[in-house]
Structure 1
Amino acid sequence: MSSNSQNISFQAGQAKGQTQEKASTMMDKASNAAQSAKESLQETGQQIKEKAQGATESVKNATGINK
């Protein structure tokens, strides 16, 4: 292979490696964002559940069901 062909092949390999690294970084960022969103939704769900339980207890207390 000529020197020029080797250089082109090397550059193509470098470009492929850089593209793979960028894709990997983007996938990691997307995965982290998805995990963060999941945790946020779980926390919001827990807060809603607690508020609903509190409201249920308030209704029970107000109507005398809890006594």
Structure 2
Amino acid sequence: MSNNSQSMSFNAGQAKGQTQEKASNLMDKASNAAQSAKESIQEGGQQLKQKAQGASETIKEKTGISK
């Protein structure tokens, strides 16, 4: 293989490696964003559930159902 051909092959390999690394980083960022969104939704759901339970208890107390 000529020196120029080896250099081109080396550069192509470097470019491929860099592209794979960038793709991997983007996938990690997307995964982290998805996990964060999932956790936010779960937290919001828990807060809604607690508020609904509190409202239910208040209604039971006001109407005398809990007695």
State the TM-score, normalized to the length of structure 1.
Answer: 0.98
**Distance across 1 between alignment mates of 2:28 and 2:3:** 37
Over 6 Å off, 4+ runs: none
Identity %: 76
**Distance across 2 between alignment mates of 1:63 and 1:40:** 35
**Distance across 1 between alignment mates of 2:58 and 2:13:** 67
Report the CA distance between 1:55 and its aligned residue.
0.4
**Aligned match of 2:50:** 50
**Aligned pairs (5 A) from 1:12-51:** 12-51=12-51
Q: Summarize deviations over 1:20-65 as a string: whole Å, max 9, x none.
A: 0000000000000000000000000000000000000011011000
Structure 1 residue runs without a partner (length 5+) = none
**Aligned match of 2:60:** 60
**Distance across 2 between alignment mates of 1:10 and 1:55:** 67
RMSD: 0.4
Structure 2 residue runs without a partner (length 5+) = none
